[in-house]
A and B are shown apart, each in its own frame.
Chain A
Amino acid sequence: MKRVDMNTVPDANGHFGVYGGRYVAETLMPALIEVEKAYRAAQADPAFEAEFRGLLKHYVGRPSPLYFAPRLTEAFGGATIYLKREDLNHTGAHKVNNTLGQAILARRMGKKKLMAETGAGQHGVATATVAARFGMECDVYMGEEDIRRQAPNVKRMKLLGARVIPVTSGTKTLKDAMSEALREWVAAVDTTFYVIGTVAGPHPYPVMVRDFQSVIGIETREQFIEAESRLPDLVVACVGGGSNAAGMFYPFLKDVGVKLVGVEAAGHGIATGQHAASIEAGRAGILHGSKSYVLQDAEGQILNAHSISAGLDYPGVGPEHALWADLKRVEYSGITDAEAVAAFHELALLEGIIPALESSHALAEARKRARSVGKGGAIVVCLSGRGDKDLESVLEYDARVKS
């Protein structure tokens, strides 16, 4: 394989090495090219940057704290544990960093309507929120199964004025919601801006979402240096599509001494086939507009993912993660449903913080690695969201396990 420089990707057509690109119907190509041009122009415009930074500060509540977790540190019995508190953002997760950026861009492009796909509902809520803030219409596509699993977020989106459109095809989860959103976008491409919630999808979404989410890693790096006068040994983040991880890792890529670990959902265990570990158990393929690691059968048909966490329940992953995995700059591992639920309870009991099930995967991984990093070392966990939305899922899970 040709050696790829991590710091200069993607290329002009959105390729991260062999990954990424734009695998969409011709009908959408001009729209993607238009979004890319608008994004590049916005990046070069100080007014865009100023508005984005201003709203991140005053509307989202950034910078989010980097919190030293004393009791968690003690329980893990090794490295010092810090939590990057994305759960404290307005709307309760990191998703809003990105939706805000894309909404400002959509307004610059003269679009009056936003559309989004959502799994856990966090991205849907974050999109509905910025749509309300900018006086735009908003349609959110959500699988019926996720509507059931994430009922509070559905109510929230409706309260914010969005239309929640149930998707009944396939597994009725995030994968199908994204397919349906792409179908609908084809029909509405003149008037509607598609706000993709993760670093997947066709170019320029993977790079654009990474850039908007990079505020997580930039702040973390500064805050950690401020607190410890050095860099952390290990940074851990969960990976579904991979947006919080991409935003957290990207600013640390050049810090070769900082180990980066992305945590995929191992569901019932990789061996059972019921998981969402695209990097660990998938292979290169094309899904939803880009080439990356994909869970697929021998014939190239996409497999259904499984995770207790709706936000990780996706058979693909962002193309830049695929590159980072190949280059071994980031290590990817898997955490099961059971391990994630245990971490969920542990953080609630020890620190009084109820984490999202997605983020609980990262916590569980940090627990496993705390001893090997050792006392005197430090681990940063990206606490990508809060867990209020997951109470039902966790209680259901606990009841099932006990019975």
Chain B
Amino acid sequence: MSRIEEAFKRLSKGNRKALVGFLVAGDPDMERSERDCRTALENGVDVLELGVPFSDPTADGPVIQAAGQRSLAAGTTVSKVLALAKRLRRDFETPIVLFGYVNPFFNYGYEKLAQDAAAAGVDAFLVVDLPFEESGEFRVHLDKVGLDFVSLIAPTTPDARLGTLLREARGFVYYIMVKGVTGARAEVAEDVAGHLARLKMHTRLPVAAGFGVSNGIQAREAARHADGVVVGSALVKAAGEGRLVALITEIRQALDTEEK
């Protein structure tokens, strides 16, 4: 069983929701980034999404854009992110997903990347701008080394398309709750329940809902109909402000508190 499957299975047995935490690797530099990742893993993050910075992040809001710029300025490369994953893997069994944009991955070479990532103990890739139609070339190599390619589903994804996308989904499914870029929102998007129910009809994989979740109340709301919740920008911001433990604890508690 893969680490991702195992993690979600264990949580669901305990009737708990997964906290998928996103941090930009190398933000503000590799040393502090590693410390933040370890803090996240020690304090209740169930799946770690390691953001691989890209110069032109077209799906990210200001917080993650800025984090990516800091990381690039500090000299972060795909190889250095893989090395970080490897160091984390020595001490943690938590699933690690590399999360990024396609060009640095394409530039590295899909086949070599799949092999090196597997060797580093990475479990999956999530590539924002590599939709189903373009991902075949990369998925082939990930399949060979047993890594998952996480499918993104949007509120705009029509039913007819869901089936195609989810047939090839691996690991878990990432549901993008809002039409827009990453970043905090005042409220959790509308009709998340409806969309998640629609999704569940097409897949037995666990579903994590993300985009716009920044606190415990929103996390619980989003997780109500999903198997887990993704927290990105808020975590990146908290890491920068030294509030990482506080935020993770708040969200963890909210997720673990029975709704009355």
Contact = CB atoms under 8 A, between A and B. Distances in A.
Interface of A: 13, 21-31, 169-170, 175-176, 179, 182-183, 186-190, 285-289, 291, 294, 296, 299-302
Interface string B51-80: 000111111110001000000100001100
Contacts, number: 117
B134 A22 contact: yes
A213 B139 CA distance: 37
Interface string B156-168: 1110010001000
B59 A21 contact: no
Contacts of B161: 29-30
Given A26-B176, A285-B106, A301-B72, 18 more contacts: A29-B154, A169-B65, A170-B55, A183-B60, A183-B180, A187-B179, A189-B179, A190-B179, A285-B103, A285-B107, A288-B56, A289-B129, A294-B103, A300-B54, A300-B106, A300-B108, A301-B54, A301-B103
Given A23-B130, A285-B106, A183 B58 contact: yes
B104 interface: yes
A299 B104 contact: yes
29 contacts: A22-B134, A23-B131, A23-B134, A25-B129, A25-B131, A26-B152, A26-B154, A27-B59, A27-B155, A29-B154, A30-B154, A170-B55, A170-B56, A176-B56, A183-B180, A186-B59, A186-B181, A187-B181, A286-B106, A287-B103, A296-B103, A299-B78, A299-B104, A300-B54, A300-B105, A300-B107, A301-B72, A302-B55, A302-B103
A117 to B, nearest CB: 11
Interface string B92-115: 000000000011111110000000
B153 A23 contact: no
A27 B176 contact: yes
A28 B154 CA distance: 9
B56 A189 contact: no
Interface in B173-225: 176, 178-181
B102 A23 contact: yes
A301 B152 contact: no
Nearest to B65: A169
The SS class assigned to the A binding surface is: mixed
A26 B180 CA distance: 11
B153 to A, nearest CB: 6
A25 B58 contact: yes
A30 B157 CA distance: 6
B30 interface: no
Contacts of A186: 59, 179-181
Contacts of A22: 131, 133-134
A277 B77 CA distance: 25
A289 B60 CA distance: 15
A21 B138 CA distance: 15
B140 interface: no
B101 to A, nearest CB: 8
A183 B61 CA distance: 8
A296 B180 CA distance: 27
A248 to B, nearest CB: 29
Contacts of A13: 133-134
